[in-house]
Chain A
Amino acid sequence: MSLAQTDKYYLPQPSLWPIIGSVALLTMAVGGVMAMHEINHGLWVLLAGVAVLFFMMFGWFGEVIRDSEAGRYNKQVDSSYRWSMSWFIFSEVMFFAAFFGALFYTRVLSVPWLGESDTMQQLWPTFKAAWPTAGPGLTADGLKFTPMEAWGIPAINTLLLLSSGVTVTWAHWGLKKNNRMQLILGLGMTVTLGVVFLCLQAYEYHHAYTQMGLTLGAGVYGATFFMLTGFHGFHVLVGTTMLIVMLLRSIAGHFTAEHHFAFEAVSWYWHFVDVVWVLLFILVYWLI
């Protein structure tokens, strides 16, 4: 269907979606701040913003998909998408780098500093620096928690995500061979693995909060643990959602063996999320 490639560059028409997106973010930000400061209806404003954002995404992506299926994107556009997706993933890498940096800094630098020489003698005389910790002040106030063990759910989750990397690649092979059954099956399995991962992580969080005393407030260990795994989990959620869209589009007959960058972009993203998880597994769960 998208064989009708043109040599002319496709310039999209004026679009209302961006400004709708801006309104959505403004509403979300104002609502979020209201909610954080317990101002009436803050949460509703936030949700309204989210709803507008979803509306925008449906509309905008829908338009892009229609353009694509109508064959308006030539080779050059395709290659633009490749560049931009790569740079986008690079920006995500740097976002995670900030949090990995925080983990490194606290583990290797600030926690040891708190437990040695003048800082310890003058300010935190009873503190014994060791990782994991909730920090000298909170421990002194009686805060106790159990660190998360690597070889339970996290190990299973590692297996799940690694296998999902395989299944998505297998789906890609199917697509390239024009084997639509393999594509749909592979995507279906990937989505399932992603969903199971998310459920297990939700269970793990629940367990941490209710049984282990491990919360966001449990010092730097809790903070880095939840922020890193939390942002990762959020990325899995986004990735899974995108995979579901790809699944639906595959079922609807979109994509051809040559022309399927949307699928590839999602699989790149998924592999990226995978790699982050492996790092998390090693640095957050395993080497404590």
Chain B
Amino acid sequence: MSDAAHAHDDHGHHAHPTGIMRWLTTTNHKDIGSLYLWFSLIMLFTAGSMALLIRSELFEPGMQLMHPDFFNQLTTMHGLIMIFGVIMPAFTGFANWQVPLMIGAPDMAFPRMNNWSFWLLPVAGIMLLGSFWLPGGAVAGGWTMYPPLFIQGGVSYDLTILAVHIMGLSSIMGSINIITTILNMRAPGLTLMKMPMFVWTWLITAYLLIATMPVLAGAVTMLLTDRNFGTHFFNAAGGGDPVMFQHIFWFFGHPEVYILILPAFGIVSQIIPTFSRKPLFGYASMVYATASIAILSFTVWAHHMFAVGMPVAAQLFFMFSTMLIAVPTGVKVFNWVATMWKGSLTFETPMLFAIAFVCLFTIGGFSGLVLAMAPVDIQLQDTYYVVAHFHYVLVSGALFSIFAGIYYWLPKWTGHMYNETLGKTHFWLSVIGMNIVFFPMHFLGLAGMPRRIPDYALQFTEFNQIATVGAFIFGFSQLIFLVLVLKTIKGGAKASDQVWEGAQGLEWTVPSPAPYHTFETAPVVK
């Protein structure tokens, strides 16, 4: 056993624990990828159910279903879980499955740490969701956790702070793992500028995570000590400033929103060339654009704070730098369109989601640009316009890219083709439902409906009703997705190795389903 070669040959399947122990102890990137993705799906239904409760209360004016404080708890937990429990784990799941396959590595660089990165998430999930049952209920201060409101709360606030620490730890370890895998474990010949776009975007995302999660940890640590140990970071009486929290938070928070979109860009950049049967247009400029977005993202944070009353110079600086991000993002959008241009296009479900992504994400990007204009943002800050903006980039952006990616790689993972009819039904219901929920929110925001309110004035009624109806359409169509995934795992038409006619890359050279261990001897890339 002490002989390395022997130990290596030995990890045939008989040596592995089975049942629950397999999942608890696994060091296999594919297992861990699946764990991440399942966790994310469960959390999507959890946080989505909260959204449906929110929308139900907002169906008409007046308080019908719940107490205002509980409404705020739902909003806060919906935001926290969607971001930290759905989108980020889903992307990490993709990274786990795909990065080793795409770069020809046998596994992640640190398989044991990989396991821990995942198994910290359920811990944080238990702490967040469990706090609903504590005295005073879950946190109700918004996912942005602004003090002094966040200082007022009870037990669950401290629990949430620690949960954020744990999720941060998980993200940092996960990112170190991914970054190391990408930098150090590529197959011979696979130079950086030959890497698939998805790998590139994750490399940059991992860098963003390592740079910002510790800052978030610092911010919530200060909250914790202000709450429990008598410090005055965010209290003017002691010389601190509540706004300081916002600066530190958004220094993390803005790069965070690109953490939520860059891997999406990567997934879409894999899918569009495949179904256009044409290589990605402007690969190099895609890489540079992604890097520019990441770098710029550290200079724009205070666009979330135009209403706090910053000096005029700061107001202008953050306005200009924010607008600048439209340039590299535009480059990406144009490149995708140019990839489709003169291709030989087919419209399987992954492609449909990818096209909807490009189109609807851009709507979200444009509303972001509207918000970037400081004077306009002063009108729109903390209204439903912002809610519309970020759901366009998060739902039809991040979430749709996740759907697209699942449809794209599911045949490779399970060895079965999914049911295309179900997939298309899911797509159309989602895309229609999504627009019905979130498009009217632009009008609500412009007309002056604040966000995070459980009850509203009469003139906002109709659009809210439309949105609520849309939410139920959108929400329940996700059950189709669940059914589809389960069916595909159970059976279905056999998938070929290449799966898609136009698919290029190492992952399509291994059998479908991808065997438990792949690339134990590295492939050579010309």
A touches B in complex, CB < 8 A: yes
A-side interface residues toward B, CB under 8 Å?
4, 6, 8-19, 21-22, 25-26, 29-30, 32-33, 36-37, 60, 70-72, 76, 79-80, 83-84, 87-88, 90-92, 94-99, 101-102, 105-106, 109-111, 113-114, 123, 133-138, 215-217, 219-224, 226-227
Is there contact, CB below 8 Å, between A37 and B4?
no
Residue from A18, A102, A220 within 8 A of B115 (CB atoms)? A18
| Min CB gap B110→A, angstroms | 7
Given contacts A8-B8, A13-B7, 20 further A-B contacts (CB under 8 A): A12-B112, A17-B116, A18-B119, A22-B116, A33-B158, A70-B2, A72-B7, A79-B184, A94-B214, A99-B222, A105-B247, A134-B232, A135-B235, A136-B239, A137-B237, A216-B229, A220-B239, A223-B222, A223-B231, A223-B232
A10 to B27, CA, bound (A): 12
Is there contact, CB below 8 Å, between B236 and A137?
yes
A17 to B228, CA, bound (A): 32
| Min CB gap B308→A, angstroms | 12
Is there contact, CB below 8 Å, between A11 and B4?
no
Contacting residues, chain A, for B215 (C-beta < 8 A): 94-95, 97-98, 101
Residue from A12, A22, A83 within 8 A of B122 (CB atoms)? A22
A95 to B235, CA, bound (A): 21
A70 to B3, CA, bound (A): 7
Interface of A is mostly: helix
Contacting residues, chain B, for A36 (C-beta < 8 A): 158, 227-228
Given contacts A18-B112, A26-B127, is CB(A110)–CB(B239) below 8 Å?
Answer: yes
Is there contact, CB below 8 Å, between A94 and B184?
no
* Interface 9-mer from B174-182, B326-334, B419-427: B174-182
Contacting residues, chain B, for A72 (C-beta < 8 A): 4, 7
| Min CB gap A75→B, angstroms | 10
List 12 A–B pairs whose Cβ atoms lie within 8 Å, in order of A's numbering. A9-B520, A13-B7, A17-B112, A21-B119, A79-B184, A80-B110, A83-B184, A98-B222, A101-B218, A135-B239, A223-B232, A227-B222
Is there contact, CB below 8 Å, between B110 and A84?
yes
| Min CB gap B135→A, angstroms | 10
CB closest residue in chain A, given B517: A11
Contacting residues, chain A, for B247 (C-beta < 8 A): 101, 105
Is there contact, CB below 8 Å, between B4 and A223?
no
| Min CB gap B211→A, angstroms | 5
Is there contact, CB below 8 Å, between B176 and A88?
yes
Interface of B is mostly: helix
Is there contact, CB below 8 Å, between A18 and B159?
no
A230 to B176, CA, bound (A): 26
Contacting residues, chain B, for A136 (C-beta < 8 A): 236-237, 239
Is there contact, CB below 8 Å, between A94 and B211?
yes
Is there contact, CB below 8 Å, between A94 and B120?
no
Contacting residues, chain B, for A13 (C-beta < 8 A): 7, 11, 15, 27
Chain B residues with a Cβ closer than 8 Å to the other chain, count: 83
CB closest residue in chain A, given B127: A29
Is there contact, CB below 8 Å, between A10 and B237?
no
A18 to B111, CA, bound (A): 10
CB closest residue in chain B, given A73: B4
Contacting residues, chain B, for A123 (C-beta < 8 A): 236
CB closest residue in chain A, given B162: A29
Contacting residues, chain A, for B213 (C-beta < 8 A): 91
Contacting residues, chain A, for B162 (C-beta < 8 A): 29, 32-33
Contacting residues, chain B, for A32 (C-beta < 8 A): 158, 162
Is there contact, CB below 8 Å, between B248 and A98?
yes
Is there contact, CB below 8 Å, between B4 and A220?
no
Is there contact, CB below 8 Å, between B244 and A106?
yes
| Min CB gap A6→B, angstroms | 5
Given contacts A10-B4, A84-B180, is CB(A25)–CB(B244) below 8 Å?
Answer: no
Contacting residues, chain B, for A25 (C-beta < 8 A): 120, 123, 166, 169
Given contacts A70-B2, A87-B210, A88-B176, is CB(A110)–CB(B230) below 8 Å?
Answer: no
B17 sits at the interface (CB 8 A): yes
Is there contact, CB below 8 Å, between A18 and B241?
no
A70 to B5, CA, bound (A): 11
Closest 10 CB pairs of A and B: A137-B237, A98-B218, A135-B239, A18-B116, A110-B241, A217-B230, A223-B231, A95-B214, A14-B25, A135-B238
| Min CB gap A285→B, angstroms | 18
Given contacts A80-B110, A90-B211, A91-B213, is CB(A110)–CB(B119) below 8 Å?
Answer: no
B225 sits at the interface (CB 8 A): yes
A17 to B115, CA, bound (A): 9
A268 to B248, CA, bound (A): 27
Is there contact, CB below 8 Å, between A98 and B214?
yes
Contacting residues, chain B, for A99 (C-beta < 8 A): 218, 222
Is there contact, CB below 8 Å, between A220 and B225?
no
Is there contact, CB below 8 Å, between A114 and B112?
no
| Min CB gap A35→B, angstroms | 9
Is there contact, CB below 8 Å, between A76 and B184?
yes
